[in-house]
Structure 1
Amino acid sequence: MSTDGQKGKKRYKSQFCGNAKRQKRRHELEVGMQGILITCNMNERKCVAEAYSLLNEYGDQMYGPEKLSEKDDGLSESEEEDDDAEAALKKEVDQIRTSTEKNLRRFQSVESGANNVIFIRTLNVEPEKLVHHILKDVHTTKKKKTRVILRMLPVSGTCKAFLEDLKKYAETFFAPWFKSPNKGTFQIAYKARNNNHMNRDEVIKELAGIVASQNPENKVDLSNPEYTVIVEIIKNVCCFSVVKDYTVFRKYNLQEVIKSSKEEKPQQPTKEDKEENLKETQGTQNTAHS
């Protein structure tokens, strides 16, 4: 083989290895993902199984049965040995893209980066609407559908967990709820896990300032706000969402929603809330329920 051909093949192999590493990272929570953050009581494997069962049930209700591609995404041996390095690279990239699109499921568990927490990445799903639909149904029917899942928090946006990144991202992310003419009462619920470079009070102050700047009629309400801004930080990823009925649905705790009555007013933190916090405290900072 010519020198140019050998160089092309080395470059091709290097690119292939790089793509393999990127594929591996797809199994970890990273910036750009949407999904659902779920806390549990020490049994993560069972939590994942319960999450799949619950999300598939309600996902089918809202979006219809999931349709999966059956397209063959393999490369032939002759394609891999193509002497034209540029053509071979293009084919490999196309194969990776096709394989990725095929293997992306509506719900896929990825490593969250924290103990007692799982992250279910979503595709073609609106996490906030889906989770609210689940909690509303459980709140109404009082049917116990899970044993180890505690809280289900939608994640509609993610960014790097650094203050400047949070501020820049929030300016755009908050607009559908808080930018004039939109408005509402709000609180900020903050928690950080395995991250010690973010300052809770500073983050809450900055984010509250952004909400206020988007419409002066946005007001803080710590007892029964229309919206709750969820800020969940794990390592160097910040997860955002804006949810309704946070107090009615007991901080989006499935176990507590079942126990509560439909007419019940928001209450002080329960024993279960405190126990949940204890289970999640390894390498974390304390929650700030605004």
Structure 2
Amino acid sequence: MSAVTNDSRKRGKKRYGGGHHNKRWKGSRELEVGMQGILITCNMNERKCTAEAFNLLNEYADKLYGPEKLQDNNGSSSDEEEADEEDVDVALKKEVAQLQASGAKQERRFQALDSGANNVIFIKTQNLESDKLVHHILSDLHSTKKKKSRVILRMLPVTGTCKAFQDDMVKYLTTFLEPWFKTPNCATYQIAFKARNSSHNKRDEIIKSIAGLVGKLNPKNKVDLTNPELTVIVEVIKAVCCISVVKDYTLYRKYNVQEVVKEDIPKPDVTAAKTESNTAEEKEKQDAEETNKEEKKGEEDGDKNVPQDNNEVDKGEGDGE
């Protein structure tokens, strides 16, 4: 009896517990070397973040590239008319190709994949430039100040990926960075590095090696941590290194869609404040000098009213005699 009970418990556990979970994640698609797309960070709600990301990306992609065009796996009427004019062998080959395409999953413009880190999703892009798309989104949000998401935090384009080992990264970046930093091109820059679920890369060593590489491409490239023209983004997740070079990283609040819609708070004018302070000090100094002059003048006037010499008094008394 106990054996039957144990068997039923095992079946129940496999049906409703870990067995289903393992099957679910075994077939999941993950971020891999060779992909391009967008890394999107969120706060504890990846499902809602994915939905917001698709809405936001499709809205702006339609404006830049037009509505997404899906291929008709069944073929069009024009294809059928052309097939009538072709040889039988060519027509058969085309039909086989269409049947194979209908059985395969069609690549969409945006596909959500498992990034390999919590609170981070990866949207794989197809047939578009993710850096230009993300910059366009942030530019519009910055100018309109219209909030269009609740859980999305940062949107980082990924225009290149390689293995997350220092030698592989340097080798890959040697060619990847040429369009921006190789002579005659040059710019001020900074490096934004972050590693998730990876402990074999040290931040300072990676930044130093990349900076040395940029310097070799053109000695005129200079580091600027305040307001750089370009920012080299390096995001390591497990064994994959995601890379991109972006503009206006500081202006668009490190590509944070929540911060970029906030009104800019004017910084206090240090020069004006310093000038006003100096003016007040000069005025106080002038007032003090005038006060001293008046006091000195009053003392001099008082001295004139007092007899200066006892001889004058003695003289007066003598004349009286």
Say whether the fold is shared (TM-score over 0.5): yes
The offset of 1:27, in angstroms, is 1.7
Higher Cα Rg, which structure: 2
Match runs of 1:1-290 below 5 Å:
27-72=29-74, 98=101, 103-261=106-264
Cross-structure match for 1:8: none
Structure with the bigger RCO (C-alpha within 8 Å, sep 6+) is 1
- Change in 2 beyond 3 A, CA 1:262/1:59: farther
Q: Give me the whole-angstrom Cα distance separating, in 1, the residues matched to 2:220 and 2:242.
A: 26
- Change in 2 beyond 3 A, CA 1:101/1:248: farther
Equivalent AA in structure 1 for residue 120 of structure 2: V
- Tell me the percent identity: 66
- Change in 2 beyond 3 A, CA 1:139/1:64: same
Alignment RMSD? 2.5
Deviates more, 1:216-225 or 1:254-263: 254-263
Native 8 Å contact 1:231 1:239 kept in 2? yes
The gaps in structure 1 that reach 5 residues or longer are 1-23, 74-93, 266-290
The offset of 1:260, in angstroms, is 3.6
- Change in 2 beyond 3 A, CA 1:203/1:101: farther
The offset of 1:116, in angstroms, is 0.3
TM (normalized to structure 2)? 0.66
Q: Give me the whole-angstrom Cα distance separating, in 1, the residues matched to 2:102 and 2:218.
A: 45
Deviates more, 1:46-55 or 1:61-70: 61-70
- Change in 2 beyond 3 A, CA 1:64/1:194: same
- Kindly provide the CA deviation profile for residues 32-88 of structure 1, in whole angstroms up to 9, marking residues without a partner as x: 000000000110000000000000000011101100112159xxxxxxxxxxxxxxx
Cross-structure match for 2:87: none
The runs of at least 4 aligned residues of structure 1 exceeding 6 Å deviation read 94-97, 262-265
Equivalent AA in structure 2 for residue 124 of structure 1: N
- Change in 2 beyond 3 A, CA 1:119/1:262: farther
Native 8 Å contact 1:163 1:198 kept in 2? yes
Native 8 Å contact 1:159 1:239 kept in 2? yes
TM (normalized to structure 1)? 0.73
The gaps in structure 2 that reach 5 residues or longer are 1-25, 76-96, 269-321
